[in-house]
Structure 1
Amino acid sequence: MRKALLLILAPALLAACGSPGSAATPGGYGAPAATVTPAATPSQTATPAPTPTPAPTTVPPTVNPGVLVARNASLGAILVNPQGRTLYYFVPERGGTVVCTGQCTSVWPPSFTANPSAPVAAGVSGQLGVVARAGGEQITYNRWPLYTFAGDMQAGQTNGQGVFGFGGKWFVATPNLQP
């Protein structure tokens, strides 16, 4: 009886295991790979169904903030853009008056925003704003226009800290930067 049962179940068990050459997951185990079937396109003569009003949701916005806080080994908490590039302020621009123009912006590119109402990141306690200038709206922090530095080749570098150029000193912006 056992041999008969084994002979009956053996083909079913072998079929369930698949073979190394079958369309299964790597190594020939598991279920076959999923296939995507394109959705049918609606007929141009069909009347579309009314779109239901979506229920309110509490999903956080997906827009990246223009300013984030990062840790730096020597400076502590610093401000960076969404790409991790260090943000700087220029001492002669106290109060929000932009003086870095022309050649200055090739060394110190302004940090522009695509969305002035982007959410504020955790740890950013100061006031974010914008100042209008050629090229768009530049991000400000506590009324200081913010810049990146062309000498920073990678995210997180702070090569512009304390640099004197274009008529003043440049410093890394920190969360406690005073207006």
Structure 2
Amino acid sequence: MFKSLPTMLWVIGATVAVAALSPAVGNIATTAPAAPAAVPPPAAPSAAKPPAAKPSAVVEAPVVIKAGTTKLGPVAVDADGLTLYMSVLDGNDPSKSVCVSKTCLAAWKPVYVKKAGVVAGAAVSQAKVGSVVRPDKDIQATLNGWPLYRYAKDQKPGDVLGEGLKGTWHVLSPEGRRLR
């Protein structure tokens, strides 16, 4: 093919020179450079919900029944200082709640108990606090057996606007006795 080494070196050198000057001739086995890869469009929002975040531990506080002061003297109050009431239509031996109608529940809010239970606060005996299962299967706090309620019109600590209403509703002492 080539008669001399110098000729062969000249042919190789010329090929390398041409390859360096012309990218298309550089590597016969390759084709023209590929077009840059297309960037995929952003993904459309998925209808699937993202994985739920791990729920934080919800700390449930117990219902606290303690003593508070009103113009009527010492009374049973909740943790916020709102006066607690009993109804003479309910029972305390055994505990029984009869306030179940929408009308009654709109004015008299039962003191509901969750898993954390009921605890005695200042000047209330733990032996006097408890709970009862209501007819609607919710659990209601009791004091000395009486189911406990808050009056909807009492807005701040010391209010006793529900005392004596309809001759049925009364404030309780911290010992769980009807005050009047």
TM-score with structure 1 setting the length: 0.56
> Partner amino acid for 1:120?
A
Paired position in structure 2 for 1:108: 108
Q: In the TM superposition, what is the alpha-carbon distance from 1:122 to its structure 2 partner?
A: 2.4
Root mean square deviation of aligned Cα? 2.3
Is the Cα–Cα contact under 8 Å of residues 106 and 152 in structure 2 kept in the other structure? yes
Q: Distance in 1 between matches of 2:144 and 2:116?
A: 15
| Structure whose alpha-carbon radius of gyration is higher | 2
Paired position in structure 1 for 2:73: 76
The structure with the largest helix share of the pair is 2
Q: Distance in 1 between matches of 2:138 and 2:78?
A: 16
Deviation per CA, 1:75-128: give whole Å up to 9, x if none: 111111112211000011132221111120111010112345443212003511
> Partner amino acid for 2:67?
V
**Sequence identity, in percent?**
31
Q: What secondary structure does 2:64 align onto?
A: coil
Q: In the TM superposition, what is the alpha-carbon distance from 1:156 to its structure 2 partner?
A: 2.2
Q: Distance in 1 between matches of 2:118 and 2:149?
A: 18
Point out where structure 1 has 5 or more consecutive residues left out of the alignment: 1-61
Q: What secondary structure does 2:120 align onto?
A: coil
The 1:120–1:171 alpha-carbon spacing in structure 2 relative to 1, beyond 3 Å, is same
TM-score with structure 2 setting the length: 0.56
Q: Distance in 2 between matches of 1:154 and 1:65?
A: 18
Deviation per CA, 1:122-145: give whole Å up to 9, x if none: 200351111112362100011100
Paired position in structure 1 for 2:43: none
The 1:115–1:69 alpha-carbon spacing in structure 2 relative to 1, beyond 3 Å, is farther
